[in-house]
Structure formats: C-alpha cells, structure tokens
Structure 1
C-alpha cells in the first residue's frame, strides 16, 4: 500500500512553509521508457491546524479550477496558514497536458477510477495515491470541476447527499459558504468510483464544483469562485479570508439526479433554443437536430421529457446517438435540501 513517506517526492509534510514536489506515477510505454509521470504537488503550512486537500485537473479540459489553485498556491503566504494546504492543480497530469477529459495514456476517467490500483494503469495509480496517501490526512477536501470542452454548467457547487445527517449538514454549510449562484445535490454514491464517493467512504468532508466550462476560462466565474474558495478555507479555520472578501451571496439549490439528461434523437447538428437557467415544461421545444448528410430529411425536434431548469448545455454542436444535449434539474423547495 502507498504510504505518505513514499508518496511525495521533495515534500516533508511535517515541515512548515512552501514546498513543491510531486507524486511519481510509474509508467512504461513508447514515450515513457520505464519512467515516471510527476504529478505536481504544493504544500503550504503554517503550523498546527486542519489539513485541506485541494484538487483540480481531474479532467484535463476543465480549466477554471486549475486556474484557481494556481493562483491560490502562488498568492498565499504560508505563514498565514493555520494548518496545511495540500494542492494538486493538475491531478490527472497526462490529461492536462493533452487538454482532454480522460488520460491519453490509458483512456481512464480519473473520476470513475477510485479507489484505484497501486500497480494499475496511470489513472488507477493516481486514484490509489490520493485515496491511500492524501485523503486520510484531510479534514476537508475540494475537487474543482467545470464542464470542460463538451459542456457548460450553471456555475455551481456540486454535492453528494449524505452519507449521514451531520456530514450532510456540513456539506450544505460549505456549499453555501462557497456562494456560487447555484448548488446541485445528487443522490448518494451517484458515481460509486468518484472522488466524492471515496471521500464519503473515508469519512472526509468534501464538496465539488462545476464552474462553467466550455473549454475556456470565464473571468467572472474565476473571480466569484476565488472569493468562495477563500470563504470555505476561512470557515475550515485554515486561512483567513482577505479583507474585502464579499460575504457569500445566496445559492439556489437544484436536484440534478438520475433522469436529468435529454439525449439526442438523431445524428447531426444540434441547434439549442434554450439557455442555461431557463425554466421549461414537459413538452416544450428545446431545439432541433439537423441531419448533416441527409438534406432531404426533416430536422428532428428535441422536446423536454419533464419540467425543469436547464442546468447543463452541450457545447459541440455535432452530436451522435447517445450524446446528452442538456440536463434538466428540479428546483429544491425553499430552505434547501433536507
């Protein structure tokens, strides 16, 4: 089993200050001749206090979270930290290098690979290292996602319900402190091999995000989520929020559970007729799919299968059978999820 002492190269977790090192993932192929993939790690420590684990780049084409962590680790004076920040801004380094959702080395989706395998492919090794070497150290964990190149989300926190009433309340408090305009709640263990599920199993408080997407970086979302991240870290007692940090605005809770996806009825070019945050009713026209190769065929209408709020929109217009065009979320009653 991976241990902390063998996991991190160049970092002494007992030392104070700023340190930079790596998790060395073993891999041998035509490009890597029995070498390693050095996943970058930065620690900022100011002495006794809680430990917060911060991840981004789980999917390589999701950039807002990566930018947030690069700013945090460069702009934070370690002497202002009460405890320790463990920051991995490019967790799935092969995917980050390739600007792809999954690893180009093994096709692995890191957020479907937990708890991983110490002797497996690179993606499985990364998951194993996080679960066995880093997650047990954490009092709080954040995994920063966005929609990536394939989709755009409402800027939001993203939280698994449960696993027990006390932890669920703490998750809700953290999401509300983050203060994004929207907060998604999904069923417990919605993806059993996700980092969210792994954190629940480890008993570590964890929230995720979906910070826009579309394969770019939205300055307004980065600005708002940077303030939200500072508020969450302040609430954890690890880092004081800078003077002038705005108080958390209210968040609107949405249920993004199973049955939210609207899939394409045909292969072709998707023309959406709705926008993010728009409310629709069952039977409403959401868009058209125009057949590309068959101009004699009529365009296929896309119709809402139920009421909901447009929470996610596909970005690339070209679609094929099985592709999701958008997701419809249910509003949660006033007062937030139970």
Structure 2
C-alpha cells in the first residue's frame, strides 16, 4: 500500500502532498497523520531527498528546508527535490525528540515496518517509497533541546572507499566549520545506515541546538545546501553563494562521553570546540540541596575536542555533560573501508 498521497513523482513543477500514517488511539480513529511532502521537479536529472525534523525539537534544519522550498523555482532545476521539513510530524508538533504517539525515535527505527506503529510506518515509507528514487540524501539535525553541537556535517564512515568518496564530496561542498565522522553502522536503525544499505550517498548535519534557531548556522547551512545541489547538477550555481570554506575533520570517540559523577547543577567550563587535555578541569557540579557540600570537579578523562555540550544545566546520574572528539588524520580514506 502506498502511503504517498497527492504527488506524482514523475510530474514536473511544484507539488505538495503527504505521507499518510494510520494510527488508532483516543485522538486518532479512522483518520491519518499526514506528514507534509513537497516535490520540485524541473528538467530530467538527479534526485535529492532532503529531510529535517527527524527529531521534533531540532529546528535549524526545518527552517533551512522551509527556506529552500519557498526560494526555489522548479524551472531552475535539472532534476528533482523531494523535501520533508517536518519528517516526524507528531514529534515536531510536540516539540519533542520522539513521537508522542508511540514513543518511537525515528532515527532508531529504520527500515521500519509498514504495519507497525506510526514511527515504524514512517521509516518504512521513507525506505520503500522515497529512498529508491534518490541519488543523494541529506538529513538535517541539530542538538535538540538537550545539547549544543559544533556546527558540523555528521557522516557515517565507509561503508567502502567509493561510497566514502561520494560522501566526502558532499561534505566538502556543504562546507560547514566541522565534520564529525562516526563508525560505519554507528546506529543500525538510523536513516544513515538505511541509506548505506541502499547504496545512496548520504550526509547529515548537527546545526547547533539548544531548542533554538541560530541565524548564523541557518545561513551557513543554506549556502552549503545550495552548493551541494549545484555540485550534483540539480541547481545552477548561484553567484551570491560563497565558495565552500575548508572543514575540520574529527572522529566522535566511542569513549568520548563525559558523564556527571553526581546529581546537581552543571557549570560548564570547557567550551564547544575547545581542545582539552587529560586531567583538565572541564566542569563543576553543584549539589542543589546540600549547601554545606563542596562542588564536585569534573576532569577530562582523555585528550580531545569538545564536540557536544549538555543542555539544560540540571543533571542526574547517567547524563552526558560532554562528548569529546579526536582530530582525524586523513579524510581521504574510510577507516572502516
């Protein structure tokens, strides 16, 4: 059963439709959850699948895709854009990371299940109905309401040399200040893993976060997205788009999380992008109720670059205060290839 309604992917021009998700609860019965989809088609050419709102509290990417839709004339295109700015619509409406309908984290749900809950249905529809048409994919993320990330491309290593070179070309066209590389199949249920399995080049972003919209990051991402689409031959080069600046490549470390040692109020000392050495004081935790107790220092357990900082400051056991990354010595070759 097709879930894409109101759109003919082969028709030219601008179309707006929806992916229909079925769900039955106290609010939804004999109805659908319509996830908005726009398709812009020009002359024959490649297809870019562009999504944001995988997590509903990540806003910069949603703004970027809304801007792209409203500022792009389909007649300019040599190819096609399939755009979903509010991919996980229930989560977007709730300003939440996961869907309020079933608690599903969309970016852990691929390849999905066509007869499952709404999150599984959405993942299944993306993999079965839209991904097969794509020549490249971008999934625009931010840190969400619980973190600030370095403004970066977020890319899975590998899965082989040819695939890595395709991702590297997209990354360098995007031209964000940082590029975070994670191991191949970093999250088996992610959209990035699904794209790797389908043999489609895909990159993601982390555009700040904190449940806010950073104007500088939005501007950088819009310029980067236009360079990516121009490099793919879908959009003509825009003289107002600056050339891509160099990016700094880092590996997000498997042992890079710094967890709070106690409950309390997190006072960050290390800043995003800062280089820290093992043993450096990077934070203090202040016990909220025990005023006679001294604050607890948090020391870096290894050398690295601060790639992610926790938000909000009130923390409990198990919360990660920071994620540390290491400089990547060679971006030309996938470490897992």
Does the alignment reach a TM-score above 0.5?
Answer: yes
Q: Which runs of 5+ in 2 are unaligned?
A: none
> What stretches of structure 1 move > 6 A for 4+ residues in a row?
none
Tell me the SS of whatever aligns to 1:213. Answer: coil
Deviation at 1:259, TM superposition (A): 1.0
Q: Which runs of 5+ in 1 are unaligned?
A: none
Deviation at 1:296, TM superposition (A): 2.6
Aligned residues between the structures: 334
Instruction: Measure the CA separation in 1 of the matches of 2:317 and 2:142.
Output: 24
Report the counterpart of residue 280 of structure 1 in structure 2: 276
For the 8 Å contact 1:183–1:253, the answer to whether it is kept is yes
For the 8 Å contact 1:144–1:209, the answer to whether it is kept is yes
Q: 1:203 aligns with which of 194, 199, 203?
A: 199
- Aligned counterparts, 1:96-115, within 5 A: 96-115=92-111
TM-score, length of structure 1 as denominator length: 0.97
Q: Does 234-243 or 183-192 show the bigger shift?
A: 234-243
Report the counterpart of residue 306 of structure 1 in structure 2: 302
For the 8 Å contact 1:158–1:184, the answer to whether it is kept is yes
Alignment pair present for 1:54 and 2:50: yes
For the 8 Å contact 2:3–2:21, the answer to whether it is kept is no
For the 8 Å contact 1:253–1:337, the answer to whether it is kept is no
Instruction: Measure the CA separation in 1 of the matches of 2:125 and 2:118.
Output: 11
Per-residue displacement from partner, 1:154-211 (whole Å, max 9, x unpaired)?
0000100101101101111110110000001110001000000000001011000001
Q: 1:20 aligns with which of 12, 16, 22?
A: 16
Instruction: Measure the CA separation in 2 of the matches of 1:190 and 1:26.
Output: 30
For the 8 Å contact 2:256–2:323, the answer to whether it is kept is yes
Alignment root-mean-square deviation, CA: 1.1
Deviation at 1:14, TM superposition (A): 1.1
Instruction: Measure the CA separation in 2 of the matches of 1:336 and 1:199.
Output: 21
Instruction: Measure the CA separation in 1 of the matches of 2:92 and 2:44.
Output: 33
Per-residue displacement from partner, 1:263-319 (whole Å, max 9, x unpaired)?
111111100011111100001111111111222322211111100011100110001
Q: 1:322 aligns with which of 312, 318, 329?
A: 318
Instruction: Measure the CA separation in 1 of the matches of 2:204 and 2:241.
Output: 21
Report the counterpart of residue 59 of structure 2 in structure 1: 63
